[in-house]
Structure 1
Amino acid sequence: MKAKEILKQSGHRPFEFPENSWKFYQEWNKTIFLHWEVNPDLVKPHLPKGMELDTIDGKTWVSLVAFDMNHIGIRSILKIPRVSDFHEINLRIYVIYKGKPGVYFLSMEGSKRSSCKVLRTLSKFPYRFSKMKRTDFSYASKNTEFDDSFHAEFELGNPLETKNKTDNWLTERYVVFQDYSKNIAEYNVHHLEWPLQDINLKKLEVNYPRFSDLINNKPDKIHYSHGVQVLAWNKIRHRT
């Protein structure tokens, strides 16, 4: 789908996208969402200064998202070879900053060293390299620096014809906030509403020692999506 057609569909967003032109294109494909309901007192210590914890019906959530990052490129420029396509796993919490609901990444892993280095430098996101391998029905990752590991085997089910309020709250997020130096970086994105479907986990091993109080092997909610095309804007810096 062309960018102008993606931009025409925005009724699912909780706020408008920026008026200036988008700059980057990427795709988030074959996406596994694992969500845990957690005690807010365990999440608050991870919040950077100035960010608030976002909740739904008084509940706080943490999510692990494992997917394929594809076709990263600058507007009107072809994708960058050996950087644009890789597997990614991120661990995110749900926040509000300057009135906008968004996400904040506790952890980001990529399957290519070159991609992690370039994106960490350009975006300030906390990318780090992990060994990853996936098939259409499995996903595995290992990081020796922090002894993090993830392994999932699954079967795909039927599309979700009706999504509830929590499904939308967890997936329809259109801004990322990330701290670096003395700044909070704001990254706005836009895509069509996530097409979700059921997923049956045949095997799941989640081991992130630094965040063992937040996530484990029994998520409270799971989703799968074949993916979305994503338009992204230049970062906005906020002094803290």
Structure 2
Amino acid sequence: MRWVGWEYGVVAGAFPEERVAWPVAHQRWHTFTFLHWAYDPADVQRLLPADFVVHTHDGLAWVGLTPFVLADFHPPGLPAIPGLSTFPETNLRTYVLNRNGVDGLWFFSLEADELATVLGARTLLQVPYQWAAMTVEANSRITYRSRRRWSPAAGHDIVVIPGAPLTGEELIERDHFLTGRWRAFTKIAGCVVTVPVEHQPWPLWSARVDQIDQDLLIAAGLPEPQGDPLAHYSPGVDARLGLPRWSGVNTRR
């Protein structure tokens, strides 16, 4: 695979822990903003399935809201389908460890403006996708708007102003913790399933939140976040999603 994105400056996060030799999907994530709030670990832990513990950094749990554009989605060997393969998406996620101490992402919700993707992911992977009306407008300011088409209503209006690419000296351990993740967990029929992902490390830019109005965190059962979020911007990465793997963990809920 040819990595792209190096022209955007110093990249953050570790390299993928393993190659995805047999991808089931290719996609590009671009115009990507990371917004993170720190939480008391207990507030996040109570929302997680059994056999997972919240992965903390400096004693804090972190919840991320990540609006972006998912582009050129296609299975290996097939072209992207115009009108279906590119759409806005927003994920609400946290960071967890399974019972073997392996880290990954846990999604509280995923908003997407593509009904086929929403229905497919909900049916096949039991991932909590929500169908939403979404737009992304990108110039010197990036505006992300989303509102669920299904009940319960929730959404966001976010305006972010990207800054400059971050240098290696400017990146800190927390930046790597929040971005360098190479698997997501879901659960199917009561068992935890791991979805591996491979992409180049994130090229990270500084960013400033000019406006934010969102209720997705409360809709997920989290307390109202305190203070302004920690913000990063990325022009994007090319991703390969691997075949889901059963871990044998019985979540019981």
TM-score when normalising by structure 1 = 0.89
Deviation at 1:194, TM superposition (A): 0.4
Deviation at 1:58, TM superposition (A): 1.6
- One of 184, 201, 207 as aligned partner of 1:199: 207
CA distance in 2, matches of 1:105, 1:133: 21
CA RMSD across the alignment: 2.1
Q: Map residues 149-160 of structure 1 onto 2, 5 A cutoff.
A: 149-160=155-166
Q: Map residues 31-46 of structure 1 onto 2, 5 A cutoff.
A: 31-46=32-47
SS in 1 for 2:202: coil
Tell me: CA distance 1:215–1:35, structure 2 relative to 1, closer, same or farther (3 Å). farther
Greater mean alpha carbon deviation, residues 87-96 or residues 200-209: 200-209
Deviation at 1:156, TM superposition (A): 1.7
Given the alignment of the two structures, is residue 76 of structure 1 paired with residue 77 of structure 2, yes or no? yes
CA distance in 1, matches of 2:164, 2:78: 36
Deviations 1:26-45 (CA, angstroms, capped at 9, x unpaired): 11110111100001111111
Tell me: CA distance 1:103–1:172, structure 2 relative to 1, closer, same or farther (3 Å). same
Assess if the C-alpha contact under 8 Å between 2:204 and 2:233 holds in 1: yes
CA distance in 1, matches of 2:187, 2:172: 31
Q: Map residues 85-164 of structure 1 onto 2, 5 A cutoff.
A: 85-97=86-98, 98-136=100-138, 137-143=142-148, 144-161=150-167, 162-164=170-172
**How many residues are aligned here?**
234
CA distance in 2, matches of 1:134, 1:218: 24
Given the alignment of the two structures, is residue 66 of structure 1 paired with residue 67 of structure 2, yes or no? yes
TM-score when normalising by structure 2 = 0.85
Assess if the C-alpha contact under 8 Å between 1:25 and 1:71 holds in 2: yes
Deviation at 1:86, TM superposition (A): 0.9
Tell me: CA distance 1:5–1:64, structure 2 relative to 1, closer, same or farther (3 Å). closer
Tell me: CA distance 1:212–1:19, structure 2 relative to 1, closer, same or farther (3 Å). closer
CA distance in 1, matches of 2:37, 2:131: 24
Deviation at 1:52, TM superposition (A): 1.6
Assess if the C-alpha contact under 8 Å between 1:151 and 1:205 holds in 2: yes
Deviations 1:108-155 (CA, angstroms, capped at 9, x unpaired): 110122221123233332111011122002111112512212001232
Tell me: CA distance 1:149–1:4, structure 2 relative to 1, closer, same or farther (3 Å). closer
Given the alignment of the two structures, is residue 187 of structure 1 paired with residue 188 of structure 2, yes or no? no
Deviation at 1:20, TM superposition (A): 4.3
CA distance in 2, matches of 1:214, 1:224: 25
Q: Which AA in structure 2 matches 1:124?
A: Q
Match of 2:244 in 1: 235
CA distance in 2, matches of 1:93, 1:229: 22
CA distance in 1, matches of 2:132, 2:30: 19
Assess if the C-alpha contact under 8 Å between 2:96 and 2:106 holds in 1: yes
What runs of 5+ residues in structure 2 fail to find an aligned partner?
5-11
The sequence identity of aligned pairs, in percent, is 25
Q: Which AA in structure 2 matches 1:237?
A: W
Q: Map residues 18-33 of structure 1 onto 2, 5 A cutoff.
A: 20-33=21-34
Given the alignment of the two structures, is residue 172 of structure 1 paired with residue 180 of structure 2, yes or no? yes
Q: Which AA in structure 1 matches 2:234?
A: S
The structure, 1 or 2, with the larger RCO (C-alpha pairs under 8 Å, 6+ apart) is 2
Assess if the C-alpha contact under 8 Å between 1:62 and 1:214 holds in 2: no
Q: Which AA in structure 2 matches 1:138?
A: T
